[in-house]
Structure formats: C-alpha cells, structure tokens
Structure 1
Amino acid sequence: MPQCPHQALQIVDGKVAWSAAACEQCDTCLKMCPQHATPMAQSMSVDEVLNHVRKAVLFIEGITVSGGEATTQLPFVVALFTAIKNDPQLCHLTCLVDSNGMLSETGWEKLLPVCDGAMLDLKSVGERMSSAINRTR
C-alpha cells in the first residue's frame, strides 16, 4: 500500500496484512485510514499470548487485559488467566482486568477465581452525580 512509507502494509487475499519487521510505528496508517483503525491488531491464541508474556517475564510483575471492553472476550480472558495461574514460570504474575463493570454477576463469578483485581471505569448516569464526580456545574 503506497500510504505506508515503510512498506509495512500489503493487501493479501483482499485483506490488509501488516509486517511487524518493516513497521516503524510512525502511525501513518492510522492517520490515512478513514476509520482510524490499526492494521497492527492481531488475533492470538492463549498459547501465543503466553509466549509473548514468557519473553517479558523477567521485566513484569503482572498483566492487565483492557481495550474496548475486555470482558466481552470473557472465555478468552478466563482461559488466559487460568493458564498463567497454572504455569510454574508465570504463576507469580498478577492478572488484572480493566472493565466498565457491566459484566453480569455470572460472568464475574467465572472471572474472579483467576483474577487478582479489576480496575473499573465508572460512568455516572445522572447530571447531578456527573457534576459531583467531575466538580463541574
């Protein structure tokens, strides 16, 4: 794709393919895309994520899943956290989730046994509460 100054993007089988080796993280692709979508997003299995975590294990104390709403991928998050807790090389890592808190009680019951904590991004529903939280009028 000519928009990428480093030739890190190609069209393969009708889809955008991203080359991590060629990418210089200049974000030109984000600026050029009408949807501001990143071609760097990847689908990974639990094992693929664990391989990335293992490479960094000496430098990290835990992992946090976030983005959009991580709990919409609940089976994956539970499987990932379970795998970390069961791996002798990784079990010392904390497993956190960044969430809007809208997960059902049943969902939290599935997640909490393997989750060390949650960071909740709370939104207020009323103007009065919003003003109090944000100290605005």
Structure 2
Amino acid sequence: MATILFLHGWHSVPGGLKPSFLIQHGHQVINPALDDDDFPAALAAAQDAFDRCQPHVVVGSSRGGSVAMNINSGIAKLILLCPAWKNWGSATKVKPGTVILHCRTDEIIPFADSEELVRSSGATLIETGSDHRLADPQSLAAMLKACEESQVRD
C-alpha cells in the first residue's frame, strides 16, 4: 500500500473518481481541496498536505499536475495526468522517474505539452484514454499501475 497525495484539477473537488479508484485498490490517499482561483494558495495547501503525510507518490491531474510540479516533493515519485504546466506555475521540467499519462486527443491540454516535458526532462509518457478526464477503465488502470510501480522502486 502506498501513501498517495492526489492533487485534483481545476474546478474539480476532493473525493472524485480517480482518488476513489486508488482508495478502492488499497492505497491511502490524501486529497486536499485546492483553491481554483489562487494558485499560490493551491500550492500552499498541497505543500502542507505533502509535508504532513510524506507520501510515496504524488498524483497531479491537469492543474493539479502543475501544482505537483511546483511543490517540493522530495523523493516522492510524480505521476502527472494531462499536466497543465503551461497554464499555471513556473516549473518547466520534472524530476527523474516522473510518469505522465495523457490522451493524444485531449481537447483541453495539448498532448504536445507532455511531449515537450518528456524531451526536456526524460519523463516517461504513456498515451492513454479518449479525453482529458482519463476516467476510462484503461486510464484508471494505467494510473494505478504507475503508482504501484513507483512504490516498488522506492
């Protein structure tokens, strides 16, 4: 069982499908509410949650991916779902071992943004899903696998 900090996307709320899926598969998930309008406040909430729970893995979905890239996540592995890094924050690279899941036909965050992160940082990019939400069974399974593989390598 991994301890996972799940950072939700813009206009999303804690307790959604993806963190619930991870909980259903036996993981401890910390899923703080992130301010939609104040990025520094969202960063502060995420950093506070990280510092308190010291997770093995940080999963960031869309805007939450940008939050994940901009906090001090220590040795925790990053799993980014369609990260909106060009829309928020200042981070332009990810740390080694980062896994990005993204849909090539994402209508909200261009797939090319994740390809750019891979080129600049050496992250692993997994193409999955049929839209930005990554809520289909294949994408949920890919997210779970990435979290569990990150845990094994620790």
State whether TM-score is above 0.5.
no
* Higher RCO (C-alpha 8 Å, min separation 6): 2
Which one has a bigger Cα radius of gyration?
1
TM range (shorter): 0.3 to 0.5
TM-score normalised by the chain length of structure 1: 0.37
